[in-house]
Amino acid sequence: MKLFVKNIGTLAGLNPDGLLKRKGAEMSILLSISDAWLFATDGIITAYGSICGDNATAVSYEQQADTVVDAEGGTVLPSFCDSHTHIVFAGSREQEFVDKINGLSYAEIARKGGGILNSADRLHNLSEDELYEQSMHRVREIIKKGTGAVEIKSGYGLSTEDELKMLRVIRRIKETTPLKVMSTFLGAHAVARGYSQSDYVNLVINEMIPAVAAEGLADFIDVFCDEGFFTFEETSRILEAGARYGMRGKIHGEELAPSGGVEVALKHSALSVDHLESMTDEDIEMMRDTDTMPTALPGTSFFLNMPFAPGRKMISAGLPLAIASDYNPGSTPSGDMKFAISLACIKMRLQPEEAINAATINGAAAMGLSNSYGSLAPGMVANFFITQPIPSLAFIPYAYTTPIIRRVFLQGKEVE
């Protein structure tokens, strides 16, 4: 199928040089053209251009198209690439939200049966089909909000069978939606009831990882390396075990306290290290000239009323930065990447162009996908959305609750 999009006010997120990520000062560069058109063949971008001075080329491509879409002066951007979510979960946890308002700490909520263990209990009692149907409501939600590639983590199972159930649901989402989905095994999200810390780590290494690998259910492996969760040494053991089965590491780190999450991520060449609310200047220095993508989750800081990751410092130090939603039932019940971009600007002091790059090309890089997703160029997958006519790209984070997305295209086809 040949798709032609015409009357584009601004076509942004262009990547003619084939960059796989942007870092430091490069993050302020969001290449765009005005009065533009875009052409895709069988879900892959073939060409783009501007009618200014070269209308004949646009006319030629339009004549070849099977489908012609009028952007009506709207902006076209690459779909968001959300590299950190937990959208396969059972039920909601709004009572814990009320508990937080009433002053209870995370530890106090956990002692009441809340937190990750609460989600694990609910998930255990749900069938795989029920879990899939609940999760698909959230999948459809994030697609409408502009997300075209997403990483989904397990971690609310905390038993071999329930972790496998989550990962099978993630596989079904991969198979039944136009989203690009990457799956991550996060058995080391918390210690399950009835286990000592060391016994649970052994369960993850000796039983869960081989079972996940036997069914080919995970692209990555993740560990919550933080105060009160898993130590540097335990995290290293788990990442080493995952690597033996071809699962590259990702890390939850430096959320609650400086915890060695950055150091262990670099030791094991993790693809990303995520959260970073407690990141230190030493951590930033360690990350210079590495292939590990620092990933901030501003929605978590907003919802939990905690410090934001030092995004401005990271970029000023020459690092790349991705932002992701962390969509989950406890600390970030939102998958709205546009809002995450706004928070990155308002609370982390990113420029709009930096925040958009963090949510697109760098989000794709945090999933190892930026050779095909996260920017617009010939050869890239035709994942993009069309906005209402907007005065500038800065309007996207500025109008932080305005629903500006009018039409969504994944793999070159419109998603209704």
For residue 328, say whether it is annotated as part of any ligand binding site: yes
Residue pair 124/118 in contact by the 8 Å Cβ criterion: no
Residue 288 φ/ψ, nearest 5 degrees: -60, 135
Q: Report the alpha-carbon distance of residue 17 to residue 32 in Å, rounded.
A: 13
**Number of neighbours of residue 17 by Cβ within 10 angstroms:** 8
Q: Report the alpha-carbon distance of residue 238 to residue 218 in Å, rounded.
A: 14
Long-range contacts of 27-35 (CB under 8 A, 24+ apart): 27/315, 27/320, 27/321, 27/353, 27/354, 27/357, 27/358, 27/362, 28/351, 28/353, 28/354, 29/353, 29/357, 30/353, 30/356, 30/357, 30/393, 32/393, 34/9, 34/10, 35/8, 35/9
CB-count exposure of residue 198 (10 Å: 0-12, 13-18, 19+): exposed
What is the amino acid identity at position 165?
A: K
For residue 275, say whether it is annotated as part of any ligand binding site: no
Residue pair 359/341 in contact by the 8 Å Cβ criterion: yes
For residue 219, say whether it is annotated as part of any ligand binding site: no
For residue 124, say whether it is annotated as part of any ligand binding site: no
Closest among 18, 11, 34 to 361, alpha carbons compared: 18
Closest among 83, 108, 109 to 95, alpha carbons compared: 109
Q: Report the alpha-carbon distance of residue 146 to residue 253 in Å, rounded.
A: 27
Closest among 322, 320, 346, 357 to 12, alpha carbons compared: 357
For residue 252, say whether it is annotated as part of any ligand binding site: yes
3-class DSSP assignment, residue 256: coil
For residue 330, say whether it is annotated as part of any ligand binding site: yes
Q: Where are the beta strands (DSSP E) in 304-389?
A: 322-323, 384-387
Closest among 341, 218, 185, 344 to 276, alpha carbons compared: 344
For residue 248, say whether it is annotated as part of any ligand binding site: no
**Number of neighbours of residue 89 by Cβ within 10 angstroms:** 25
For residue 331, say whether it is annotated as part of any ligand binding site: yes
Structure token pair of residue 151: 């990483």
Closest among 181, 231, 212 to 367, alpha carbons compared: 181
Which residues make up each annotated binding site for Zn(2+)? 84, 86, 252, 326
Which residues make up each annotated binding site for N-formimidoyl-L-glutamate? 156, 328, 330
Which residues make up each annotated binding site for Fe(3+)? 84, 86, 252, 326
Which residues make up each annotated binding site? 84, 86, 93, 156, 189, 252, 255, 326, 328, 330-331
Which residues make up each annotated binding site for 4-imidazolone-5-propanoate? 93, 156, 189, 255, 331
